[in-house]
């Protein structure tokens, strides 16, 4: 079930006064709680700017011990990871998403969802963290795109909505997540749909690929990229589709 659902409207003109006022309000609110940074990115022919947390490790002190014991949720959402950058490049430069429904799992600050929306997709960015979704709203407004946000626990995806495309970046970091992600893909994808999972070549990705095949999916292509920032990181993007029956 997707909860805390919210629609972010696109600005009617780039300097829409109401949007600028809302951006300032959200930025001031976030700045009172986090040490922020805003970084420029260029995907395809489009320029973007994304707000994130300068040091996600500084958020560890904010974790409630009782909540951590229940969910073991770390503030991974607060950073922009190389896999998200690489996935966003692919979306803007290669994928045909215009007019298609796209859902992102573990969206973090929403980079890939914003890229999909900029390309013309009907995008919804989901994350388990409601803190992350506040950044998604800001980044959608900042980049002038319309999308939906929603809180989604990929361990319990119980919705009837189906999507043309599922995207996710750097979500294969714990073994316990692998089967729930495969199950979520099966639940969320339309017939004929495809999922694109970007991963920085973690060893767990090999186990994920095995699970995918065991659960009726095939990997029709993989794409390797180098995401550059402070360092070069090799990223693989897996395209998953249901096996022919």
For 113-143, the pLDDT digits (tens) are 999 999 999 999 999 999 999 999 999 999 9
The verdict on residue 139 lying in a domain is yes
The verdict on residue 2 lying in a domain is no
The verdict on residue 101 lying in a domain is yes
The verdict on residue 59 lying in a domain is yes
The verdict on residue 1 lying in a domain is no
What is this structure's pTM?
Answer: 0.91
Question: What residue has token string 């729930």?
Answer: 180
The verdict on residue 197 lying in a domain is yes
Cα 193 to Cα 97, 102, 185, 204, 236: the distances in Å are 11, 10, 10, 24, 20
CATH number at 231 reads: 3.40.50.150
Residue 87's domain comprises 7-242
The verdict on residue 172 lying in a domain is yes
Structure tokens at 114: 């914003």
The verdict on residue 37 lying in a domain is yes
Total domain count, the chain: 1
pLDDT tens, N- to C-terminus, the chain (245 residues): 788 888 998 765 556 788 889 999 999 999 999 999 999 999 999 999 999 998 765 665 665 555 544 455 667 889 999 999 999 999 999 999 999 999 999 999 999 999 999 999 999 999 999 999 999 999 999 999 999 999 999 888 988 899 999 999 999 988 999 999 999 999 999 999 999 999 998 889 999 999 999 999 999 878 787 766 556 788 999 999 987 65
Residues 6+ apart with CB under 8 A from 106: 76, 77, 126, 127, 128, 154, 168, 169, 170, 171
């Amino acid at each position: 079930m997707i909860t805390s659902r919210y629609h972010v409207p696109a600005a009617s003109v780039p300097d829409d006064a109401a949007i600028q006022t809302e951006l300032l309000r959200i930025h001031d609110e976030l700045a009172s709680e986090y040490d922020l940074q805003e970084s420029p990115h260029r995907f395809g022919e489009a320029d973007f700017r994304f707000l994130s947390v300068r040091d996600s490790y500084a958020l560890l002190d904010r974790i409630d011990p009782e909540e951590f014991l229940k969910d073991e949720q770390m503030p991974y959402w607060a950073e922009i990871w190389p896999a998200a950058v690489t996935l966003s490049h692919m979306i803007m430069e290669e994928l045909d998403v215009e007019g298609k429904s796209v859902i992102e799992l573990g969206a973090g600050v929403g980079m890939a969802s914003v890229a999909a929306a900029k390309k013309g997709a009907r995008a919804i960015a989901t994350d388990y963290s409601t803190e992350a979704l506040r950044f998604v709203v800001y980044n959608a407004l900042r980049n002038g795109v319309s999308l939906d946000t929603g809180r989604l626990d990929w361990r319990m995806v119980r919705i009837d909505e189906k999507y043309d495309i599922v995207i996710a970046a750097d979500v294969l970091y714990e073994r316990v997540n692998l089967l729930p992600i495969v199950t979520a893909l099966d639940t969320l994808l339309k017939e004929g749909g495809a999922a694109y999972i970007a991963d920085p070549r973690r060893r767990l990705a090999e186990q994920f690929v095995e699970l995918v095949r065991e659960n009726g999916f095939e990997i029709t292509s993989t794409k390797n990229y180098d995401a550059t920032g402070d360092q070069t990181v090799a990223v693989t993007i897996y395209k998953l589709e249901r096996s022919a029956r």
